[in-house]
Amino acid sequence: MLRGAKEMCEEVLPNLLIYVTGDFTRGKSGSHIRFGQMIELAITRFHNVIVYSYRSNAQDPWTKEGEYRFRLRFPAAKLVLEDQTPALKLLVRIKNFALMLAPGRAKSILGWRLPGQTPGYDKAIASAPQAALLVNFIDGLTELNGVDVADVLVDTHDCKFIRYAKYRGLKLFACKSLARLRSEIGVLDRVKAIIAISAVEAGFFRAVLSDRTVLLVPVYSDAPKVATRDIKKDVDLLFVGSNNPYNRNGLKAFLRDHAALLEDVTLDIAGSVCEDDELVAIAGCCRGARLLGWVDDLTSVYARAKAVIAPVDGSGLNIKVVEALEHGKPVFASAHARDSLPAGCDHCVLPIDERLIRRVVADQAWRHDLEQAALSYSCGPWLRGDRDHVMELLANTPAGGGSASSS
């Protein structure tokens, strides 16, 4: 039987290496927020936490400011950055193509590496004996320069093939989508354990990978935020989101479908989603809509809002819904956003219905009840899920995930 993670940490002071994709320190997306929560939790459980990433990430390249933010927030963790060379990028493409052709050879394919291309990664593995390896996103396994996948825990964040299809407007039965499904299942069939962000995806992984350990961790954070009560609630609705297709398309549809509602109900929109030109144009036609752009500290933005909307499709768990609940805000959400949450959210996460929206805006007493339900739900054990089990598995991982240390 496995011992508790805390007991193991105190006994052997285990090492942990976490792979993240790009600079996440500004919290621009749900995955960035999850990276930060994961590292904060790991620091409390592990003696030596190393965070590894490629400096030249295409979407979120690391800068000196990002490195400074990391050191300020995680002084007990070590950040290892290095450039992903053209040769490594080519190797990633070769691995991904090979996995689509031969998913049954995933263990061997993911072990492919180019010696001498990642000295930082090699040194990190060598400096942390028997380090457990926690990889974010399935693609992270091909991006690493050789990995012994059997000792790895992978936080999926979502279903890769679903994200691929929806980002590109493909049917799930399209050949390109199914090719990603083949590689995704082939990879997950070889890892030590799979971490799912939503109950829906955990159920899917358990159904197709019956002999793999699948763990559900909606959030890694233990410290919900409490809404500021002394700020006047002068904004009816709030949307917060990054500039990804799920957010853009969902919000644009909401603005079009509920233009009449927004004649007398106000909506503030915050986040990099405000950078989308079409969204800016549509919002400009809605009298009640206001674009705030990127906001570094959302505390006062949440405090001023009466409710939050999440009219988004996609895969995984919408972290911004959880964040809104932690601020004590009732949420009007799409069917996907509601279904991805653990059970018990019905009293604070409501369907998008104009009648209900108008009632929440106007009925202060009911809104207060919904706020209390949101805070109670956000503190519940269902959002923690199998978090302690994840830490326990990592503490009991017998050897490092990197093959780099052996060559």
Q: Is the pLDDT of residue 404 over 60?
A: no
Cβ-in-10-Å burial (0-12, 13-18, 19+) of 115 comes to: exposed
Mean residue pLDDT across the chain = 88
Q: What is the CATH number of domain 5-221+385-406?
A: 3.40.50.2000
Least confident range of 29-33, 185-189, 248-252, 291-295: 29-33
pLDDT exceeds cutoff 90 at 240: yes
Would the pLDDT of 169 be above 90?
no
Q: What ranges do the domains of the chain cover?
A: 5-221+385-406, 235-381
Q: How far apart are the C-alpha atoms of 189 and 154, rounded to whole Å?
A: 11
Residue 11's pLDDT is 45
Q: Which pLDDT tens digit goes with each residue over 175-226?
A: 888 888 999 999 999 999 999 998 889 999 999 997 899 999 998 986 555 6
Locus of tokens 């919002």:
283
Closest CA to 65 of 303, 296, 262: 296
Specify the 3-state DSSP secondary structure of 308.
Answer: strand
Q: How far apart are CA 250 and CA 150, in angstroms?
A: 38
For position 141, what pLDDT does the model report?
A: 96
d(CA 205, CA 216): 11
Q: Rounded CA gap, 375 and 30, in Å? A: 20
CB atoms within 10 A of CB 2: 11
Distance CA 330, CA 273 (A): 21
Q: Which two tokens stand for residue 337?
A: 């956003």
pLDDT of amino acid 297: 84
Question: Which tens digit of pLDDT belongs to each residue from 36-62?
Answer: 999 999 999 898 999 999 999 988 999
pTM for this predicted structure:
0.83
Three-state DSSP at 401 gives coil
Tokens of 18: 């976490």
Q: Classify 235-381 by CATH class.
A: alpha beta
